[in-house]
Amino acid sequence: MRWLEKIERRLDWVHFEGLFKYLTFLGVIAYACQWARKDIADQLDFDRDRILAGEVWRVFTFIFSPIGRQGFTVWGAVMMFIAVRVAFLMSDSLENVWGSTRTTLYLLVGWAGIAAAQFVFGSGGSLGGLLYYSSVFLAFATLFPKVEFALFFLIPVEVRLLGWITGVLLVLSAVTVPGAIIIVGPALLPYALWVLPDVIQGRKSLVKAVQRRRKFNVDSLPEIGAFHRCEICQRTERDSEDLQFFTLPDGKEYCEDHLPKQG
């Protein structure tokens, strides 16, 4: 989308290299804070009334609310370690393809869209934070579909399969959870702006490439030669099935319309 690229060039100064890594660090801190306060997630949730009352931090910290509800256990710590590594992989991969400006804009638009939707239509609990990370994961799964993760540390699974599962769950949540579509839409806005057009364009390019390849294969086939050709008009049996040809003693061939008269 050319207009989007123009906006990116004008906002080139809006770049925060490794932004998603820093957000991951803050998520780890939110997770560790459960040692001190088990209700930390409630303090991070988006709550419009409390924000208007002065708890402005909730506008930003709602994306860490789901992490604050995980429960501080040994297994939870292991899963958090894996999640951090995956988050770092996604951050580096997206920035390598997009650069820090587009990646930063993707993250900011996702956060702003979810925050605005919750502020206008009411709190979505932990759903806003979950949708935020799902949007980033969908972008990664679309751009790097063949990356493999070891499910349960044993089963290799390509990330595109996990991406499809994530997409299906988002659609189901939008359809089945009352009011969820109001937040799901803004959460997927950056995906619709930056990822989906490239996917569509890539499909179109693939179709065009297949068509060009087929045309080349057809054009490169040798033309079947004609058995008869008139010396005068150069017509062959391929021009008319009813056309008759005659070969004279000198070896030359003529159609019936241009057969020389014998003196």
Q: Please tell me whether residues 83 and 145 are part of one structural domain.
A: yes
Residue 152 in domain: yes
172 plus 246 within the same structural domain: no
Q: Are 204 and 230 in a shared domain?
A: no
**Based on the domain organization, do 240 and 198 belong to the same domain?**
no
Instruction: Specify the DSSP class assigned to residue 227.
Output: S
Q: How far apart are CA 103 and CA 107, in angstroms?
A: 6
Give yes or no: residues 8 and 132 share one domain: yes
Q: Measure the CA–CA gap between 116 and 128, rounded to whole angstroms.
A: 11
160/234 same-domain check: no
Residues forming a β-bridge with 245: 255
Q: Three-state SS for 148?
A: strand
Q: Domain range holding 253? A: 226-258
Q: How many domains does the chain have?
A: 2
> Is the residue at 94 inside a domain?
yes
Quick check: is 218 in a domain?
A: no
Residue 164 shares a structural domain with residue 83: yes
Per-residue pLDDT of the chain in tens (263 residues, 90 and over written 9): 677 778 878 888 888 999 999 999 998 888 888 777 778 888 888 888 888 999 899 899 889 888 777 767 777 788 888 889 999 999 999 999 998 999 999 999 999 999 999 888 876 667 888 899 999 999 999 999 888 887 777 788 899 999 999 999 888 888 877 677 888 888 899 999 989 888 877 655 544 554 555 555 545 544 455 667 788 788 887 777 677 777 776 667 878 777 776 54
Half-sphere exposure (Cβ direction) of 179: Cα atoms closer than 13 Å: 11
Closest CA to 151 of 162, 143, 136: 162
Whether 21 contacts 87, CB under 8 Å: yes
Q: What is the 3-state composition of the chain as percent helix, strand, coil, each rounded to the nearest 5?
A: 65, 5, 30
Shared-domain flag, residues 142 and 180: yes
